């Protein structure tokens, strides 16, 4: 899967894989491509701790340095303007520069202005220049925070107007005021910025206020153009990378690797350790493999600092590779839950994330490639899982069912004997009441729980059990048809299920597994069932049936390209006019033109807000085109 996003700024950001808001993307900059999520090590132009070339060998693809510091040093300034930033730093990879806003935060003021520091960054030949934003402190009153938002926006407008030819970073400010953050994000997104850093968060990170950090990231993301890369300003601790990536942050920058090293502190995915308190080094990086803690302590200071900085970077890049692998496999939530167990503040961050389920749910696919692994009650609160549980319970409670206790999966095997009774069944599972027919459908059929359940899970099961375990009379039912219907309701909702299955239903089963493969209605092949996750793929005959739903339900509406789409070519975001807001990434959909004629059936890659914002790349992977009647 590949699609391109081209910002009004001209920046190309290509998404290769996604998992909810998290994404693996390719950022194309003048000095080369960068795969995100990426960490930009901060280079201090005054002190070389580790040469950029060495960092490139460890996984650094892009760097960040501070133009304000360079500008303030007569010697550096002249060299940098003469030779360009890349020669001065000793790298030919992309370089982003910061503006001095952070120095404003530390020293209270800066000796430059927006256009001066931007002009200087342009003269250095940087890949991305940052405007002089106004840092909103977390202790700011709402009025003060609003002032920093408005002033940052004013400077953003000034920058975009006067420097239309370079890539600019437009930071989001607004302190800890969520509505103000969203407003700032919307204002900055309305300008042709290449990337959006989320600013003013360093004090939150320094004070382990991770719950507040989550609020700030989510409220900023809500207002940002979803097609632009997001940078979490000053986030350099690997402990924060998984949750920030889960919330849709694409870039990180770190001076922490060096700052912590000067302080003899080692970073790990689970936190920070002081060298003086360590006897064993629980790490496989080249530094920790070669030296003991004692040897590091006895070393000359300069060498020790360099080695600890190297360790800090190795650990950080390894964590980013784990995150990318998790995005690829669709199990980043699991990784965040595991990491949350390493520090109470991270657990607070996770629990705060779960409060924003309504927003996050819109980006959550209904099915994933990875098995659902339970790691605590928070796993059941993941927005995509909660939605699935709610939908299943609705189906389980709309008609009388005999409720069975939780058992080994697949339930249909464990309860094979009982299923001879002509009754509908549901299982009182840790997810909630699950109809027997959804036994092989994600997440119910692809899930693992501990045999010894948590108290919260037991309590929920017991509560549902009260009054639910009564028997029901036998009736005439066809289990295959029941299953066909339940999965259709689960995946397409009641309206879709009714339209898709109106008529006489018949099925074809796999000879090998005995499972349903294809669903026919009045002799037409309407749906196929995927064995891996128990979800349907839509056939053209099914698409025709969904076309009966009220506009724009189930639809991606395109303005152009009818002929190509009818031939089975993918739908590009550029042509998308309208999208059903109920569609989620990876859902089955129908593609129609403006006259509401069916062009194809396929799988959406983007949800509504993404498909409308992205101006290039694939919005729908078409499965089958509709030949002209
Ligand atoms: N570095 C860390 N935080 C910030 C911020 O809010 N703005 C800028 N420009 N740089 C930062
Ligand atoms: Zn190490």
Which ligand number lies closest to the CA of residue 200?
A: 1
Q: What is the pLDDT of residue 16?
A: 86
The rounded distance, in Å, linking the Cα atoms of 490 and 366 is 10
Structure tokens given for 355: 């409060």
pLDDT, one tens digit per residue, over 266-315 is 999 999 999 999 999 999 999 999 999 999 999 999 999 999 999 999 99
Q: Which atom of ligand 1 is nearest to the CA of 99?
A: 9
Which of 117, 132, 149, 199 has the most ligand 1 atoms within 8 A of CB, as the residue to mutate? 199
Indicate whether 388 pLDDT > 50: yes
What residue's CA is closest to ligand 1, atom 5?
Answer: 199
pLDDT, one tens digit per residue, over 525-544 is 999 999 999 999 999 999 99
Q: Are strands 402-405 and 425-429 parallel, antiparallel or unpaired?
A: parallel
Indicate whether 10 pLDDT > 80: no
For the chain, the maximum distance between any two Cα atoms, rounded to a whole number of angstroms, is 90
Q: What is the pLDDT of residue 474?
A: 85
81-92: average pLDDT = 96
What residue's CA is closest to ligand 1, atom 11?
Answer: 102
Q: What is the pLDDT of residue 614?
A: 84
Q: What is the pLDDT of residue 11?
A: 83
Q: What is the pLDDT of residue 9?
A: 62
- Residues with CB under 6 Å of ligand 1 are 98-99, 101-102, 130, 133, 135, 171, 199-200, 202, 233-234
Q: Edge-to-edge, what's the strand order for the sheet holding 536-538?
A: 505-509, 516-521, 524-529, 536-538
42 CA from centroid of ligand 1 (Å): 12
pLDDT, one tens digit per residue, over 565-622 is 999 999 998 899 999 999 999 999 999 999 999 999 999 999 999 999 887 678 999 9
pLDDT band at residue 629 using 50, 70 and 90 as cut-offs: low
Q: What is the pLDDT of residue 72?
A: 95
Helices and strands in the chain, H and E counts: 26, 29
Q: What is the DSSP letter of 41?
A: E
65 CA from centroid of ligand 2 (Å): 25
Q: What is the DSSP letter of 217?
A: H
pLDDT, one tens digit per residue, over 155-203 is 999 999 999 999 999 999 999 999 999 999 999 999 999 999 999 999 9
Indicate whether 148 pLDDT > 50: yes
Q: Radius of gyration (Cα) for the chain, nearest Å?
A: 27
266 CA from centroid of ligand 2 (Å): 8
Peptide bond into 552 cis (omega under 30): yes
| Whether the Cβ atoms of residue 327 and residue 246 lie closer than 8 Å to each other | no
98 is catalytic: yes
**Residue spans of beta strands (DSSP E) within 88-130:** 95-98, 128-130
Q: Which atom of ligand 1 is nearest to the CA of 200?
A: 6
Structure tokens given for 47: 């002190």
What residue's CA is closest to ligand 1, atom 10?
Answer: 102
Q: What is the pLDDT of residue 1?
A: 34
Q: What is the pLDDT of residue 5?
A: 39
Which of 132, 171, 255 has the most ligand 1 atoms within 8 A of CB, as the residue to mutate? 171
Domains of the chain (ranges, CATH numbers): 34-351 (3.20.20.105), 362-466 (3.90.1020.10), 479-625 (2.30.130.10)
Report percent pLDDT > 70 for the chain: 97
289 CA from centroid of ligand 2 (Å): 7
Q: What is the pLDDT of residue 468?
A: 64
301 CA from centroid of ligand 2 (Å): 17
The rounded distance, in Å, linking the Cα atoms of 217 and 213 is 6
Indicate whether 150 pLDDT > 50: yes
Q: Which atom of ligand 1 is nearest to the CA of 201?
A: 3
Q: Which atom of ligand 1 is nearest to the CA of 98?
A: 9
Which of 102, 103, 113, 148 has the most ligand 1 atoms within 8 A of CB, as the residue to mutate? 102
Kindly name the residue from 19, 54, 98, 165 that is annotated as catalytic: 98
Indicate whether 6 pLDDT > 90: no
pLDDT, one tens digit per residue, over 122-138 is 999 999 999 999 999 99
Main-chain phi, psi angles of 408, to 5 degrees: -65, 140
135 CA from centroid of ligand 1 (Å): 7
What residue's CA is closest to ligand 1, atom 9?
Answer: 101
**Residue spans of beta strands (DSSP E) within 430-504:** 432-435, 447-448
Least confident of 104-108, 212-216, 258-262: 104-108
Instruction: Give the list of residues 6+ apart from residue 397 with CB closer than 8 angstroms, or none.
Output: 433
């Amino acid at each position: 899967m590949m699609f391109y996003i081209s910002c009004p700024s001209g920046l190309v950001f290509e998404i290769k894989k996604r998992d909810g808001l998290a994404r693996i993307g390719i950022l194309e900059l003048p000095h080369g491509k960068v795969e995100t999520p990426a960490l930009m090590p901060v280079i201090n132009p005054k002190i070389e701790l580790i040469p950029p070339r060495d960092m490139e060998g460890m996984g650094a693809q892009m760097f960040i340095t501070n133009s304000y510091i360079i500008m303030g040093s007569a010697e550096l300034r002249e060299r940098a303007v003469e030779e360009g930033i890349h020669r001065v730093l000793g790298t030919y990879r992309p370089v982003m520069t910061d503006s001095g806003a952070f120095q404003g935060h530390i020293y209270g003021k800066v000796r430059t202005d927006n256009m001066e520091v931007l002009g200087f960054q342009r003269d250095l030949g940087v890949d991305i220049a940052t405007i002089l934003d106004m840092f909103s402190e977390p202790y700011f009153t709402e009025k003060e925070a609003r002032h920093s938002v408005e002033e940052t926006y004013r400077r953003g407008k000034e920058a975009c107007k006067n420097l239309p030819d370079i890539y600019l970073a437009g930071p989001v400010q607004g302190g800890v005021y969520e509505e103000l953050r969203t407003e700032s994000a919307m204002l900055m997104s309305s300008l042709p910025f290449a990337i959006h850093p989320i600013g003013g968060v360093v004090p939150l990170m320094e004070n382990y206020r991770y719950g507040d950090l989550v609020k700030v990231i989510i409220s900023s993301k809500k207002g940002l153009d979803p097609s632009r890369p997001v940078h979490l300003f000053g986030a350099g601790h690997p402990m924060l990378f998984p949750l920030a990536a889960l919330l849709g942050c694409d870039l990180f920058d770190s001076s922490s690797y060096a700052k912590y090293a000067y302080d003899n502190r080692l970073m790990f995915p689970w936190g920070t350790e002081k060298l003086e308190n360590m006897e064993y080094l629980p790490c496989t990086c080249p530094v920790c493999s070669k030296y003991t803690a004692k040897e590091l302590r006895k070393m000359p200071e300069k060498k020790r600092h360099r080695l600890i900085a190297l360790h800090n970077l190795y650990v950080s890049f390894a964590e980013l590779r784990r995150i990318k692998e998790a995005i690829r496999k669709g199990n980043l939530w699991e990784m965040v839950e595991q990491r949350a167990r390493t520090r109470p503040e991270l657990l607070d961050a996770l629990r705060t994330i779960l409060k924003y389920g309504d927003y996050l749910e819109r980006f959550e696919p209904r099915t994933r490639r990875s098995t659902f692994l339970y790691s605590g009650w928070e796993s059941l609160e993941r927005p995509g899982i909660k939605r699935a549980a709610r939908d299943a319970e609705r189906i389980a409670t709309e008609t009388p069912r005999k409720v069975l206790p939780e058992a080994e999966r697949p339930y249909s095997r464990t309860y094979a004997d009982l299923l001879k009774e002509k009754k509908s069944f549901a299982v009182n599972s840790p997810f909630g009441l699950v109809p027997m027919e959804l036994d092989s459908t994600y997440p119910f059929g692809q899930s693992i729980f501990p045999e010894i359940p948590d108290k919260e899970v037991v309590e929920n099961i017991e509560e549902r059990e009260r009054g639910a375990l009564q028997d029901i009379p036998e009736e005439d039912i066809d289990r295959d048809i029941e299953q066909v219907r339940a999965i259709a309701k689960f995946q397409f909702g009641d309206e879709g299920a009714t339209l898709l299955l109106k008529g006489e239903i018949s099925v074809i089963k796999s000879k090998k597994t005995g499972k349903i493969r294809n669903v026919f209605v009045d002799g037409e092949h309407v749906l196929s069932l995927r064995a891996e996750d128990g979800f349907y793929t839509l056939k053209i005959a099914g698409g025709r049936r969904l076309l009966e739903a009220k506009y724009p339900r189930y639809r991606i509406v395109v303005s152009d390209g009818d002929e190509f789409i009818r031939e089975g070519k993918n739908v590009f975001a550029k042509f998308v006019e309208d999208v059903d807001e109920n569609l989620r990434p990876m859902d089955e959909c129908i593609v129609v033109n403006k006259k509401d004629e069916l062009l194809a059936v396929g799988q959406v890659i983007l949800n509504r807000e993404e498909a409308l914002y992205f101006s290039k790349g694939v919005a729908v992977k078409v499965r089958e085109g509709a030949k002209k009647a």
